[in-house]
Amino acid sequence: MAAGSTDRKIDKLIHLLVQNAMVVVPGPKIASEIGVTRSTVWMWMEKLRSLGVEIKGVPSSGYRLVKIPDVLVPSLIRPELDDNQIGHTIVHYFRVGSTNDAALQLASRDAPHGTVVVAEEQTSGRGRLGRTWYSEPSSGIYVSVILRPPLAPTAAPVLTLMAGIAAQQALVSATGLAVDIRWPNDLLVGGRKVCGILTEMSAELDRLHAVVLGIGINVNHSEMPPELKKIATSLRMEGHKAWSRVQILIALLRELERHYGLLLADGNESMTRRWAAASSYAQGKRIRVVQGHDEFQATTTGLDSTGALRVRREDGREHLLVAGEIMEVR
């Protein structure tokens, strides 16, 4: 078990409650099936309640689940992924610094391709360009996926684009909302960000050892903090309802499996074409480009096969963006 990760027995407890959903399960039965004391069962029930899991205690009879819980534990996710490689091992935390840090550490200890690290809360979630990632407990999805691609380090940007397309398709299929992708891989609903992706890796000159795709999705936040209100939103705020994080994570892991397979089978160019078809930012979008201290306005003119964005400045000069940040100019 990874340090600090969720005790498999709590996972088993949630599974047992779900399998017996809506019936009263006696405390001693739960304790003996899981192999813990009754007081531990009581303590864990309190912990689950504090995370919003609705469990009714029926005096001298036992416990009854009021509603299927929306907790991202392996026992609720793993069975939905068939024989997929992505998600064959899922490490869950109730609270962790950053799932990317936990995944990078697991990767350095030889965790296999497809290992997933997921948390209900991050205390130091990281974003691109040295920013922090707002990680409200039990409202968002904070997940990192370890990939071991048989590819050169130059393929890393296309892996990031692949993750953006996979996340877009997962959100569209799970919610029906219209989701755009802003280069390189921010997902937007109604022009504001609902999902960000941070790709980190360990590599040698000619080979990627491990890539960690860190994905943060604002799912059930009922509002965003004041400093983010103008630029970020949540699926709940846009769809006017709460969504199942469990179902969204399952959809995301399935789409990552599918698109990773497509990238290996069809190559970079096919993936960048898919990206261009999925994003309003690929062609003809007026943008502001921020590259360190440099800022300028330009219009997008397509992607090259490495995933770099072509732009034309107002004076006609052409640029190829390989990193940095862009914003739409309205």
HSE, side-chain direction, 13 A CA sphere, residue 292: 2
Task: Dig out the tokens for 310 from the structure.
Answer: 């072509």
> How near is the Cβ of 72 to ligand BTN at its closest, in Å?
12
> How near is the Cβ of 199 to ligand BTN at its closest, in Å?
9
Q: How far is it, in rounded angstroms, from Cα 235 to Cα 213?
A: 21
Of 19 and 202, which has the nearer Cβ to ligand BTN?
A: 202
Of 55 and 100, which has the nearer Cβ to ligand BTN?
A: 100
Of 62 and 216, which has the nearer Cβ to ligand BTN?
A: 216
> How near is the Cβ of 323 to ligand BTN at its closest, in Å?
13
Return the SS3 of 155: helix
Of 98 and 115, which has the nearer Cβ to ligand BTN?
A: 98
Strand partners, 64: 56
- Residues forming contacts to ligand BTN in the complex (CB under 6 A) are 98-100, 122, 125-128, 131, 133, 142-144, 186, 196-198, 214-216
Do 323 and 330 contact (CB within 8 A), yes or no?
no
* Cα-based distances in Å from 123 to 46, 98, 195: 22, 7, 18
Q: How many CB atoms are located within 10 Å of the residue 233 CB?
A: 21
The DSSP output letter for 309 is E
Q: How far is it, in rounded angstroms, from Cα 163 to Cα 52?
A: 30
> How near is the Cβ of 202 to ligand BTN at its closest, in Å?
16
Return the SS3 of 191: coil
N-to-C CA span, the chain: 50
Question: Which residue number is nearest to ligand BTN in terms of Cβ?
Answer: 196
Q: How far is it, in rounded angstroms, from Cα 209 to Cα 207?
A: 6
> How near is the Cβ of 206 to ligand BTN at its closest, in Å?
27
Of 41 and 193, which has the nearer Cβ to ligand BTN?
A: 193
Q: How far is it, in rounded angstroms, from Cα 43 to Cα 77?
A: 24
> How near is the Cβ of 42 to ligand BTN at its closest, in Å?
32
Of 252 and 278, which has the nearer Cβ to ligand BTN?
A: 252
